[in-house]
């Protein structure tokens, strides 16, 4: 059955893959972008992904920090995938640069969706709203866990995702009316990029392959393929069992930066010649953080081993993700294919 579905943030990494899968499933898709000048970029990304949507895809200008455009964006939509959220590669000067647009943007989308009679909103949250600011634990994190936004070493991004998701659940409980909510909480999102607009986790692989990283800090995180994250959004959108539930999107056990380096070396041959395989001692990373604010962001997570489980998404929604290795290799292959690495850019020139 064909529905009309709004995807917020269609120019982003997850948003563009959601649009691809919705089009493949036969739906009419509308997407928001901050500026209509981005329409050509989005269509080029979708073409890279194998889709020529024509008039089955339409665009609305809307910003998370402004009311304008949202009533028009949701009008006549059956479902909304609220994917848009700020995630800069650089540390913001103040945490509110992330918190305010994430929280207020989610509330704008939910309010407009409720008023327009949308059936369900699927909110893209993050594992950052689940597994941070807590004491280490042996068992994997799951959907019952919540990040403590008041923890002393809380990162602005994790705080923004936690407060935005909390605000969304509170809105549904108090003011949602008939509107339903489901939430997807991805770990680090990898997989094939469709253009130069991609996530911070992809930037990390790009920097490793470009030789811009001197070594591998002792960091551990989950990986999941963007195609599987999009698939989980579509399942959460229509599956009755997903109503009022959150779902961790993780492929398997968490991996270390060194694990990723070894995968790239093993699978990417010459393209991975610059990838470092030396694990950096924590003290050296702390010294580097004195000069680089981006490095300072990772200090609270150094040496912390975590894990998360995808049991709920598998059990309730029949979700079956690719392996972490497959998603990491797909990332690297797409960066090479699109000429987004130093060496491949030189060859293209």
Token code pair at residue 327: 């998603």
Express as a percent the part of the chain with pLDDT over 70: 97
Q: How far apart are the first and last CA of the chain?
A: 46
pLDDT at residue 347 is higher than 60 = no
Contacts of 238 (CB under 8 A, 6+ apart): 79, 120
Do 295 and 289 meet the contact criterion of CB atoms below 8 Å apart?
A: yes
Catalytic residue among 159, 161, 218, 306: 161
Which domains, and CATH codes, for the chain?
Answer: 4-192+223-252+307-322 (3.40.50.720)
Please report which confidence band the pLDDT of residue 97 belongs to, taking 50, 70 and 90 as the band edges.
Answer: confident
Write the DSSP assignment of 230-270 as a string of letters: HHHHHHHHH-GGGTT-EEEE--SS-EEHHHHHHHHHHHHGG
Token code pair at residue 16: 């563009």
The label of the residue with tokens 């489980």 reads 309
DSSP three-state, residue 149: coil
Q: Would you state the pLDDT for residue 342?
A: 84
Cα maximum dimension of the chain:
57
Which has the closest alpha carbon to 126: 189, 187, 194, 171? 187
Cα separation of 26 and 3, whole Å?
8
DSSP three-state, residue 341: coil
- 262 carries an active-site annotation: no
The label of the residue with tokens 């995702």 reads 161
pTM of the shown model: 0.95
Cα separation of 9 and 104, whole Å?
15
Please report which confidence band the pLDDT of residue 349 belongs to, taking 50, 70 and 90 as the band edges.
Answer: very low
Express each pLDDT in 15-74 by its tens digit. Answer: 999 999 999 999 999 999 999 999 999 999 999 999 999 999 999 999 998 999 999 999
Token code pair at residue 62: 């809307």
Average pLDDT, the chain: 93
Q: What are phi and psi of 159, to 5 degrees?
A: -65, -40
Strand partners, 29: 5, 57
Burial code of 140-176, b = ≥16 C-beta within 10 A, e = fewer? bbbbebbbebeeeebbbbbbbbbbbbbbbbebbeeeb
């Amino acid at each position: 059955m064909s529905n009309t579905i709004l995807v917020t943030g269609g120019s982003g990494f997850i948003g563009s893959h959601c649009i691809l899968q919705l089009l493949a499933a036969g739906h009419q898709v509308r997407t928001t972008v901050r500026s209509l000048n981005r329409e050509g970029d989005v269509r080029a990304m979708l073409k890279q992904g194998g889709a020529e949507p024509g008039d089955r895809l339409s665009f609305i200008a809307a910003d998370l920090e402004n009311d304008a455009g949202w009533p028009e964006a949701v009008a006549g939509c059956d479902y909304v995938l609220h994917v848009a959220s700020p995630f800069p590669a650089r540390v913001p000067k103040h945490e509110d640069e992330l918190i305010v647009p994430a929280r207020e943007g989610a509330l704008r989308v939910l309010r407009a969706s409720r008023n327009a009679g949308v059936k369900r909103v699927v909110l893209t949250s993050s594992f950052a709203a689940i597994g941070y600011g807590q004491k280490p634990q042996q068992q994997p994190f799951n959907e019952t866990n919540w990040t403590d936004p008041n923890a002393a070493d809380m990162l602005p991004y994790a705080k923004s995702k936690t407060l935005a998701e909390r605000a969304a659940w509170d809105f549904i409980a108090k003011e949602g009316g008939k509107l339903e909510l489901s939430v997807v909480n991805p770990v680090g999102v990898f997989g094939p990029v469709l253009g130069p607009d991609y996530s911070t986790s992809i930037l990390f692989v790009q920097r490793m392959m470009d030789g811009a990283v001197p070594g591998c800090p002792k960091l551990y995180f989950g990986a999941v393929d963007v195609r599987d994250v999009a698939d989980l959004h579509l399942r959460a959108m229509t599956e009755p069992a997903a109503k009022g539930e959150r779902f961790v999107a993780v492929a398997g056990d968490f991996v270390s930066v060194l694990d990723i380096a070894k995968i790239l070396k093993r699978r990417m041959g010459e393209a991975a010649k610059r990838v470092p395989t030396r694990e950096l001692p924590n003290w050296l990373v702390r010294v580097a953080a004195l000069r680089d604010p981006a490095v300072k962001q990772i200090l609270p997570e150094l040496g912390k081993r975590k894990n998360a489980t995808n049991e709920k998404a598998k059990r309730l929604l029949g979700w079956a993700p690719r392996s972490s290795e497959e998603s990491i290799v797909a990332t690297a292959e797409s960066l090479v294919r699109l000429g987004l690495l130093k060496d491949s850019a030189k060859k293209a020139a």
